[in-house]
């Protein structure tokens, strides 16, 4: 059996993996949607042999006391007049129309990123970024007059807005201005052409309107407006805009991160905010879920080699047959998923239990009682990991996953295949590691291959067994390794500041939409919970810069879905949502500027 130290080298510096074009993001928003379709759908249910009805409300309140505490809304105080002026400006039809027009203009510049693009200077497809960079320079003259611009790897952008107090750690705001390509066969299915940037009075239409040109343009508009009002920051603000996030960020953020580290040093930023999940109404409450963690990733290739020959005299098992058996063994023994109490997954579930009034009571009580002992934790786990799609999604959130995504072997129908290869993609739990994940594959399959098929085994460069008269070899190869991201603490000042900012902006954006009754005021409340992403953002290149990294886009998500049309047909963003995003960036910059606790 292999030990953890026997498999993947601990001193390796693995390259981050490519990821899906839109990572599956499971936050409180997603989790509530998953649970919405569970079997617990009535107001009076039984669990563990006990009956829970309206009489247990007081007990529920006692269980949830102190769970997932909420920060008070935070609004600028020193700059309250400026903030009030800007939020009043944001509420005007003229500002709304102007902001929508600026986002539409940005959408009209196609900046598509394709998989497998060669380095900048070697691939002509990068030149689409040039017009966008020029567009920013022309559209935001005050930003370019007052902020220092450093261009990295030609199209990566670092803007530095120097503050008056160099002793304060800067704020880093991130975004990316590349977009996924529009499939030619679907172009005619769009309500408005995909690069029209059309504004119909309600929404801005086109690729990138949500992901992530709205983030980049929202930041630029916020800063241009602050400069127009004469604001000069006390704390330095840094912007980092990548240009290939949709293919892993290797040429953009992969260069920007090291450049920032060289300029500012490790642990140099007070907090980092990049794109991520937004907020949604679920189970009688509205939840925002800034991502405080990301899962890791590892691809493992299984390569079986056996002697070739004519297929008219086959052995009992060809290399393809052996590989197939190894895959069956792997899939028959998936990594176990557990609801660890110290994980972001449990933090998310506990916030639901504490603040979602319509959450099924049996599930609420199981979650809240989970810390009491192992039995109640397992009960919560069993409910959350129920059979069906919802169970699969929750397991994918909290556990390490494995998926056999690529397989190849054989070249001719009458020739025995000398080689067969399968690629297993792992998404690694926050409680695990690249080394532990690779070791598990070896422990599961190496002895199986040796005893059942008489194969010699080599794992990650080390010979584990070399059998006499072996029928062939099995080799494990690791690539695209990425450790799980460090978990951002949610009990420290940066998280509190972000949460308080979210709660303020949410209420301000709805201040003119209610009737002023107590019920209307309550509807303007938002619950902020730690969230988690199973995919990866450009922040993975910036782990050394701060331990306070948040993946959050202040944007409404309809139910369990992603923002409208993201990565598919009819991507669009409402003008109201875009203005609220601008208000969020404005408020965050001012709140961070005033804070002396971060």
Q: Which residues are catalytic?
A: 178, 245
The gap between the terminal CA atoms of the chain, to the nearest Å, is: 47
Is 274 annotated to bind a ligand? Reply is yes
Chain-centre distance for alpha carbon 261? 22
Tokens of 546: 């701060």
Q: Where are the alpha helices (DSSP H) in 203-343?
A: 213-228, 253-264, 319-331
Q: What is the rounded radius of gyration, in angstroms, for the C-alpha atoms of the chain?
A: 26
Residues in the chain: 598
The answer to whether 87 and 583 have CB atoms below 8 angstroms apart is: yes
Is 188 annotated to bind a ligand? Reply is no
Is 176 annotated to bind a ligand? Reply is yes
The answer to whether 366 and 348 have CB atoms below 8 angstroms apart is: no
Rounded-to-integer distance, Cα 438 and Cα 198, Å: 48
Is 426 annotated to bind a ligand? Reply is no
DSSP per-residue letters across 206-225 = STTTTTTHHHHHHHHHHHHH
Maximal C-alpha separation, the chain: 86
Rounded-to-integer distance, Cα 501 and Cα 483, Å: 30
Is 6 annotated to bind a ligand? Reply is no
Tell which residue, 598, 581, 588, has the closest CA to residue 217.
581
Determine if residue 265 is left, alpha or beta; phi over 0 gives left, psi from -120 to 50 gives alpha, anything else beta: left
Determine if residue 567 is left, alpha or beta; phi over 0 gives left, psi from -120 to 50 gives alpha, anything else beta: left
Q: CA neighbours within 13 Å on the CB side: how many for 422?
A: 22
The answer to whether 474 and 302 have CB atoms below 8 angstroms apart is: yes
Rounded-to-integer distance, Cα 450 and Cα 322, Å: 11
Rounded-to-integer distance, Cα 503 and Cα 526, Å: 6
**CA distances for 517 relative to 491, 514, 523, angstroms:** 33, 8, 10
CB atoms near residue 153 (< 10 Å):
19
Bond before 424 cis per omega within 30 degrees: no
CB atoms near residue 94 (< 10 Å):
8
Tell which residue, 22, 14, 13, has the closest CA to residue 176.
22
Q: Where are the alpha helices (DSSP H) in 356-407?
A: 361-369, 374-384, 389-398
Tell which residue, 87, 77, 78, has the closest CA to residue 585.
87
The answer to whether 390 and 41 have CB atoms below 8 angstroms apart is: no
The answer to whether 400 and 433 have CB atoms below 8 angstroms apart is: no
Give CA torsion, residues 3, 8, 11, 12, to 10 deg: -170
The answer to whether 594 and 77 have CB atoms below 8 angstroms apart is: yes
Query: Which letter does DSSP use for residue 110 in this model?
Result: -
The answer to whether 278 and 555 have CB atoms below 8 angstroms apart is: yes
Rounded-to-integer distance, Cα 337 and Cα 570, Å: 36
By three-state DSSP, how is residue 468 classified? coil
Annotated binding site for Zn(2+): 176, 211, 246, 274, 567
């Amino acid at each position: 059996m292999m030990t953890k130290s026997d498999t993947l080298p601990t001193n390796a510096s693995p390259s981050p993996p490519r990821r899906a074009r839109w990572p599956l993001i499971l936050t409180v928003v997603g989790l509530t949607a998953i649970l919405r379709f569970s079997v617990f759908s009535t107001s009076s249910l039984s669990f563990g042999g006990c009956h829970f009805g309206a009489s247990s409300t007081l007990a529920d309140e006692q269980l949830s006391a102190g769970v997932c505490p909420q920060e008070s809304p935070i609004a600028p105080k020193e700059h309250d007049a400026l903030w009030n002026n800007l939020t009043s400006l944001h509420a005007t039809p003229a500002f709304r129309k102007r902001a929508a027009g600026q986002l539409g203009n940005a959408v009209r510049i196609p900046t598509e990123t394709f998989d497998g693009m060669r380095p900048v200077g070697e691939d002509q497809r990068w030149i689409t970024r040039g017009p966008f960079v020029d567009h920013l320079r022309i559209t935001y003259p005050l930003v370019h007059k007052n902020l220092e611009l450093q261009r990295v790897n030609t199209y990566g952008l670092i803007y530095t807005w120097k503050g008056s107090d160099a002793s304060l750690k800067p704020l880093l705001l991130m975004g990316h201005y590349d977009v996924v390509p529009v499939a030619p066969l679907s172009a005619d299915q769009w309500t408005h052409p995909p690069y029209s940037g059309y504004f119909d009075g309600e929404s801005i239409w086109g690729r990138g309107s949500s992901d992530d040109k709205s983030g980049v343009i929202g930041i630029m508009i916020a800063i241009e407006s602050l400069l127009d009002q004469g604001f000069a920051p006390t704390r330095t603000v840094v912007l980092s805009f990548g240009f290939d996030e949709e293919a892993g960020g290797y040429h953009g953020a992969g260069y920007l991160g090291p450049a920032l580290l060289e300029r500012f040093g490790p642990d140099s930023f007070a907090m980092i905010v990049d794109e991520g999940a937004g907020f949604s109404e679920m189970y009688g409450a509205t939840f925002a879920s800034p991502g405080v963690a990301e899962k890791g990733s590892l691809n493992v290739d299984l390569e079986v080699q056996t002697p070739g020959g004519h297929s008219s005299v086959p052995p009992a098992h060809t290399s393809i047959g052996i590989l197939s058996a190894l895959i069956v063994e792997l899939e028959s023994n998936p990594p176990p998923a557990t609801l660890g109490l110290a994980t972001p997954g449990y933090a998310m579930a506990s916030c639901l239990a504490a603040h979602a009034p319509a959450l099924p009571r049996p599930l609420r009580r199981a979650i809240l009682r989970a810390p009491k002992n192992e039995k109640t934790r397992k009960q919560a786990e069993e409910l959350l990991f129920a059979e069906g799609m919802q169970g699969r999604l929750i397991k994918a959130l909290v556990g390490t996953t494995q998926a056999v995504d690529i397989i190849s072997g054989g070249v001719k129908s009458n020739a025995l295949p000398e080689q067969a290869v399968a690629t297993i993609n792992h998404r690694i739990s926050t409680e695990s590691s690249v080394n532990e994940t690779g070791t598990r594959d070896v422990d599961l399959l190496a002895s199986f291959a040796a005893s059942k098929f008489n194969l010699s085994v080599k794992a990650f460069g080390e010979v584990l067994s070399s059998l006499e008269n072996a029928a062939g070899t099995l080799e494990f190869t690791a690539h695209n390794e990425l450790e799980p991201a460090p978990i951002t603490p949610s009990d420290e000042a940066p998280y509190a500041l972000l949460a308080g900012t979210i709660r303020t902006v949410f209420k301000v954006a709805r201040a003119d939409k209610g009737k002023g009754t107590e019920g209307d005021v309550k509807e303007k409340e938002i619950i902020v919970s730690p969230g988690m992403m199973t995919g990866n953002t450009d922040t993975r290149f910036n782990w050394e810069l701060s331990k306070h990294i948040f993946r959050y886009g202040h944007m409404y998500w309809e139910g369990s879905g992603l923002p409208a049309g993201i990565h598919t047909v009819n991507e669009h963003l409402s003008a109201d949502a875009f203005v609220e995003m601008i208000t969020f960036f404005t408020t965050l910059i001012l709140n961070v500027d005033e804070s002396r606790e971060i």
